[in-house]
Amino acid sequence: MLRQIEGSKAVAAAVAACRPQVVCAYPITPQTHIVEAIGAMAKSGELTGCRFINVESEFAAMSVAIGASATGARAYTATASQGLLFMIEAVYNAAGLGLPVVMTLANRAIGAPINIWNDHSDAMAVRDSGWVQLFAESNQEATDLHVQAFRLAEELSLPVMVCMDGYVLTHCTERVDVPTQQQVDAFLPPYQPRQALDPADPVTIGAMVGPEAFTEVRYLAHAKQLQALARIRDVADEFGEAFGRRSGGLLRTYRAEDAEVVVVALGSILGTIKDAVDELRDRGARVGVVGITSFRPFPLDAVHEAIGVAPRVVVVERAFSIGFGGVLSTDVALAIADAKARVSTVVAGLGGRAVSEASLIAVVEDAIAGRLEALRFLDLDQRAVERELARMAGDRRSGPSAENLLRDTSTVASGSV
Amino acid sequence: MTTTQKVKFYQVGSFAVGNRLLEADQRTVQSDASRSNSLTSGHRACQGCGEALGARYVLDAAMRATAGKLVAVNATGCLEVFTTPYPETSWQLPWLHSLFGNAAAVATGVAAALEAQNRSDIRVIAQAGDGGTVDIGFGCLSGMFERNDDVLFVCYDNEAYMNTGVQRSGATPPAARTATTEAVGPDPGNLFGQGKDLPVLAMAHGICYVATATVADLHDLESKVERAMAFRGARYLHVLVPCPLGWGSAPADTIRVARLAQETGLFPVFEAEHGAVTAASAIRHRVPVEDYLRLQGRFGHLFDGSGAVARPDIVGRLQQLADRNIDRYHLLEGGAS
């Protein structure tokens, strides 16, 4: 059903159509609208058979989801940023126990300095947790990915995280084809748990495992992720047939066939990148895009095939590994290790900074001209950074850097200036 | 050093009575050959472990009270480790271990799932040691209490982090030696004026049922579990379980030490409903705290080599704590509220 709707509310409607039985909610910006909307549906009776629980922390939110899922119920929660980090022990635990919890991650930066705006630092922090991580490019895809997520999670007994950019998607109102109850019921069968706490068939879940079997248990988690690679593609195909539109899958390419420069990215920034590529194509540059939907499992073969023989690859990332560089770039470089392409990382859009089409075009033009470094921070205010470095070098008690920078750039007056 | 102990066939002075002298319906769950054995034999607990004893009684009583429809959630700790060395398990009921600090929240999730599936006939117990209850697990526990989720949370309190090697917790008593409250300096052992009184904090949430018990009175423990299972909503049971390893007490003295904790007044045994104390177990043979302390190596620095009190100041302060409990819970007057 076509609706003019906020991204969060579209996701809430899709999750509700999946008939979750336990939803746990803890507020954190920019995720909160999603659980608010589900809570309203559970309370009004629009969503039946659902226990909506206001918990006292994100750690409890994931823990309640673990208990519910282990008891054979379909469990859902949503979080962002600091909330994800606060629940991280339980995030790993849900994956280790093989529980098909579905969670929305409304991607947001991690402090300090505290920042409520979008980047992908939160998702990268749980990259190795064993969760499937799917990135939505648009609100339509975010909505559709949730329906696919429950299907994937429950088939594979794996938790699935749908990553959607905070504000850019969660708070953006646009046209979304919201799945109907009938469509979802036809696509998503009732949850059949592989393991469940049941007095009629008592099992022990969560035993201690020593060196004699830990590697094998961990390898099984990896094997399930490899199975997920195939299933993510198939489920997206089945979704396409059932709903009449493409959403999800491992990755999508855009004008990449003969490209000399391939730009790789995750999430909503792909829209701006495609606009930049259209402009560059109009100018005669052979530029294409690979948008990755499945970050974990990472589709090495599909990325290899999609990039092909392009000599230059620019990975635009909304996060980075401090002291090293790109995160996604490392994975992309491994996928094309035999191709001799030059891979550059462009760190962009941290903490909600706008990524303009003009800046992206300049980056690609630099790549074509061989001027793009291995690691570039897009639109970095180099003068501000150097001023603070000089201050730190000159004065032992130079004070808090974030506040110094704000004062220098006069963006915000934090108290007296 | 070899110690000898006289074996008694009857526990003189305890007022305990053999099951065979009771009517069949008054006998303990453990005396019933058809009990569930929820925590069955063969586990790896230390000799004289109070927690293993307490958990066995609690779970079998709960199993009887629920006609076998019970799910247990366990925090990380001794009870989890000694019962489930992969690939073995001692649990003969559905049992889930997730993390150290989240047993109460996981149990909330189990109860919510059962409700969503119209299976609320199945009941939920969460269990943890004192660390998983009063310290790292307290946030989730307090949340479960205030939401009044249908869970009985059982704390097996051995007054320190025993699984990691006897470190101080928020339930460690003053003056006790642990690996992180060494018996050195002018104030040896754990400091006075610290620690959490979890039963009182549980009562402050206004939940329907709070009780304390020890493994010295197992009949009382069983009856409190049965009482707890008669309620719906959040409930809390705090069981004192001596730890021979951590307390430096003889494995054969576990029951004796637990009994002395109650009879000195250091550990008040009581019940409360909706925030108000409804009953307390009277002290029948009041004993000075030094009788309790002397049996335990963790208080060894309070005594000299001959067993005489070497730190009367500290023993005196502990006696004051016991006296305050006796006063607060009217423990010499047949219990009261």
In tens, the pLDDT along A356-371 reads 999 999 999 999 999 9
In this prediction, the answer to ipTM > 0.90 reads yes
**Could you tell me if B142 lies within 8 Å of chain A, comparing CB atoms?**
yes
Predicted pLDDT at B8: 56
- Partners of A141 in the beta sheet? none
Predicted pLDDT at B31: 87
Contact A34, A205 (CB under 8 A): no
| B 47-76 near A (Cβ less than 8 A) | 68-71, 73-74
Predicted pLDDT at B71: 98
Tell me which residue in B70, B117, B140 faces A73 most closely, judged by beta carbons.
Answer: B117
| B 32-51 near A (Cβ less than 8 A) | none
- Domains along chain A with CATH numbers: 2-243 (3.40.50.970), 251-377 (3.40.50.920)
Give the minimum alpha-carbon distance from B62 to chain A in angstroms, rounded to a whole number: 13
Predicted pLDDT at B21: 78
In tens, the pLDDT along B231-248 reads 999 999 999 999 999 999
Query: Residue A122 pLDDT more than 60?
Result: yes
Tell me which residue in B68, B96, B116 faces A197 most closely, judged by beta carbons.
Answer: B96
- Listed in order, strand segments (DSSP E) in A7-63 are 22-25, 51-54
Name the percent of chain B lying above pLDDT 90: 87
- Does CATH place domain B36-328 in 3.40.50.150? no
- The chain B residue lying nearest A24, using CA atoms, is B109
> How far is residue B207's CA from residue B275's CA, in Å, rounded to a whole number?
7
Query: Residue A154 pLDDT more than 60?
Result: yes
Predicted pLDDT at B4: 72
pTM over 0.80: yes
- The chain B residue lying nearest A42, using CA atoms, is B116
**What's the whole-number average pLDDT of chain A?**
96
> How far is residue B30's CA from residue B14's CA, in Å, rounded to a whole number?
19
What mean pLDDT is predicted for residues A190-211?
95
Q: Where are the domains of chain B?
A: 36-328
In tens, the pLDDT along B74-107 reads 999 999 999 998 889 999 999 999 999 999 999 9
Indicate yes or no: CB of B139 within 8 angstroms of CB of A90: no
Predicted pLDDT at A273: 98
What mean pLDDT is predicted for residues B19-46?
89
Instruction: Kindly report the number of other CB atoms within 10 A of residue B312's CB atom.
Output: 12
Tell me which residue in B108, B116, B142 faces A73 most closely, judged by beta carbons.
Answer: B116
Name the percent of chain A lying above pLDDT 90: 96
Could you give the count of Cα atoms lying within 13 Å of B56 in the half-sphere of its Cβ?
Answer: 21
What mean pLDDT is predicted for residues A66-74?
98
In tens, the pLDDT along A241-273 reads 999 999 999 999 999 999 999 999 999 999 999
Predicted pLDDT at B20: 76
In tens, the pLDDT along A304-338 reads 999 999 999 999 999 999 999 999 999 999 999 99
Three-class DSSP category at A61: helix
**Could you tell me if A315 lies within 8 Å of chain B, comparing CB atoms?**
no
**Could you tell me if B141 lies within 8 Å of chain A, comparing CB atoms?**
no
- Listed in order, strand segments (DSSP E) in chain B are 70-74, 95-97, 123-129, 152-157, 209-214, 235-240, 270-273, 276-280
Query: How far separated are the first and last CA of chain B, in Å rounded?
Result: 46
Three-class DSSP category at B322: helix
> How far is residue B269's CA from residue B261's CA, in Å, rounded to a whole number?
10
In tens, the pLDDT along B311-337 reads 999 999 999 999 999 999 999 986 544
Residue by residue, DSSP assigns B79-96 as: HHHHH-BTT---B-S-EE
Query: Residue B211 pLDDT more than 80?
Result: yes
**Could you tell me if A213 lies within 8 Å of chain B, comparing CB atoms?**
yes
> How far is residue B303's CA from residue B230's CA, in Å, rounded to a whole number?
45
What angle is formed at CA A338 by the lines to CA A332 and CA A342, rounded to 5 degrees? 60
Predicted pLDDT at B115: 98
Predicted pLDDT at B333: 80
Retrieve residue A74's tokens.
């379909």
Predicted pLDDT at A111: 96
Three-class DSSP category at B4: coil
Contact list, B107 vs chain A (CB under 8 Å): 67
Mean pLDDT lowest among A375-379, A406-410, B48-52: A406-410
Query: Residue B264 pLDDT more than 50?
Result: yes
Q: Using CA atoms of A133, A138, A142, A148 in order, give the dihedral in degrees to the nearest 10.
A: -80
Residue by residue, DSSP assigns A118-153 as: --SHHHHHTTTSS-EEEE-SSHHHHHHHHHHHHHHH
Predicted pLDDT at B231: 98
> How far is residue A157's CA from residue B14's CA, in Å, rounded to a whole number?
53
Indicate yes or no: CB of B102 within 8 angstroms of CB of A204: no
| A 82-141 near B (Cβ less than 8 A) | 89-90, 93, 97
- The chain A residue lying nearest B92, using CA atoms, is A202
Give the minimum alpha-carbon distance from A172 to chain B in angstroms, rounded to a whole number: 32
Tell me which residue in A51, A201, A204 faces B115 most closely, judged by beta carbons.
Answer: A51
Predicted pLDDT at B193: 96
Give the minimum alpha-carbon distance from A366 to chain B in angstroms, rounded to a whole number: 50
Indicate yes or no: CB of B84 within 8 angstroms of CB of A206: yes
Predicted pLDDT at B24: 83
Tell me which residue in B86, B89, B112 faces A213 most closely, judged by beta carbons.
Answer: B86
What angle is formed at CA A145 by the lines to CA A227 and CA A226, rounded to 5 degrees? 10
Retrieve residue A285's tokens.
């540059």
**Could you tell me if A409 lies within 8 Å of chain B, comparing CB atoms?**
no
Query: Residue A413 pLDDT more than 50?
Result: no
Tell me which residue in A21, A66, A75 faces B117 most closely, judged by beta carbons.
Answer: A21
Q: A145, A51, A43, A59: which is closest to A104 by C-alpha?
A: A145
Collect all residues with Cβ–Cβ distance below 8 Å to A264 and sequence separation of at least 6. Answer: A289, A290, A291, A292, A303, A307, A313, A314, A315, A316, A328, A332
In tens, the pLDDT along B149-194 reads 999 999 999 999 999 999 999 999 999 999 999 999 999 999 999 9
What mean pLDDT is predicted for residues A373-394?
96
- The chain B residue lying nearest A191, using CA atoms, is B117
Contact list, A57 vs chain B (CB under 8 Å): 139-140, 143
**For an interface test with A, which of B43, B90, B106 has the most A Cβ atoms less than 10 Å from its Cβ?**
B106
Three-class DSSP category at A343: strand
Residue by residue, DSSP assigns A302-319 as: HHHHHHTT-SEEEEEES-
Confidence of residue A417 (pLDDT cuts 50, 70, 90): very low
Query: Residue A239 pLDDT more than 50?
Result: yes
Collect all residues with Cβ–Cβ distance below 8 Å to B134 and sequence separation of at least 6. Answer: B155, B169, B170, B171, B196, B198
Tell me which residue in B87, B94, B146 faces A199 most closely, judged by beta carbons.
Answer: B94
Q: For the purposes of burial, counting CB atoms within 10 Å of the CB of A158, is it exposed (0-12), middle (13-18) or buried (19 or more)?
A: buried
**What's the whole-number average pLDDT of chain B?**
94
Contact list, A218 vs chain B (CB under 8 Å): none
> How far is residue A89's CA from residue A96's CA, in Å, rounded to a whole number?
11
Tell me which residue in A63, A66, A204 faces B95 most closely, judged by beta carbons.
Answer: A204
Contact A99, A68 (CB under 8 A): no
